[in-house]
Amino acid sequence: MLLKEQKLVIDGRELRIAAQDDARALLIQPVDGHDISELPALLSWTQAHTHVPFAHVALPIQRWNDELTPWPAPPVFGKTPFGEGAAATLELITQRVVPAVCSALCLDTDLPVVTGGYSLAGLFALWAAYQTRFAAVAAASPSVWYPQWIDYAATHTPLTRVVYLSLGDRESRSRTPIMATVDSCMQRQRELFQAQGVTMNYETTAGNHFQDNGIRMARGFVYALNNLQQLP
């Protein structure tokens, strides 16, 4: 089934929408320029590995180190600190993006919504799982090394009950000390989800953090789509 592409401007952001007829799920992905370049691979792989019609929305993030993180943190690389714009981004998705896209595509407003992201956008997806009951979240190579994240995850209960996680098998080889903890942090995140009864799928993929981003993200969306009948 062909994907029909269109653009929609919300709050000065040009959303890229790729939708199949009779979509049964809405996939929301916060993106940067690199993610946008990976969209053809992501959409092609997703179509090839699911029979579930879907609509994918690429939401441009203007300030990557601010709009995706739930609380401030010092710079990890470069000189740009992290902000606390995640709450505003989540409100934008739930209150503006989802209703506008459903209206534009003539979709039911109660369509299952899956939020997913890569890297810091993956961290955002995980944080969003604790705030909102999405059908599922897909977090590919999420920044679970983020300061105080694991402490937060250990003291809060996710509202979203279906989660996909993945990590490259060379990501912990980072020269940045805090980012090198990503493997142990991911192990702790998985333990927490398991203890909380979250339906979870975890995959280790080949390569470092900057390898096959689009395919890694697609694998998460496909997991959610292929398990729609199990979603709450």
**pLDDT tens per residue, range 160-211:** 999 999 998 877 777 777 778 898 999 999 999 999 999 999 998 876 667 7
| Residue 101, CB-side half-sphere exposure with 13 Å CA sphere | 31
Determine what percent of the chain is predicted with pLDDT higher than 70. 97
User: Residue 179 in contact with residue 76, Cβ under 8 Å?
Assistant: yes
What pLDDT is stored for residue 232 in this prediction? 43
Domains observed in the chain: 4-230 (3.40.50.1820)
What pLDDT is stored for residue 151 in this prediction? 97
Q: Does residue 212 have a pLDDT over 90?
A: no
Quote helix, strand, coil % in the chain, to nearest 5: 40, 25, 40
What pLDDT is stored for residue 231 in this prediction? 45
**pLDDT tens per residue, range 115-151:** 999 999 999 999 999 999 999 999 999 999 999 999 9
Q: Does residue 101 have a pLDDT over 70?
A: yes
Q: Does residue 40 have a pLDDT over 80?
A: yes
DSSP 140-183: ES--TTSTTHHHHHHTS--S--EEEEEEETTGGG-SSTTGGGHH
pTM: 0.95
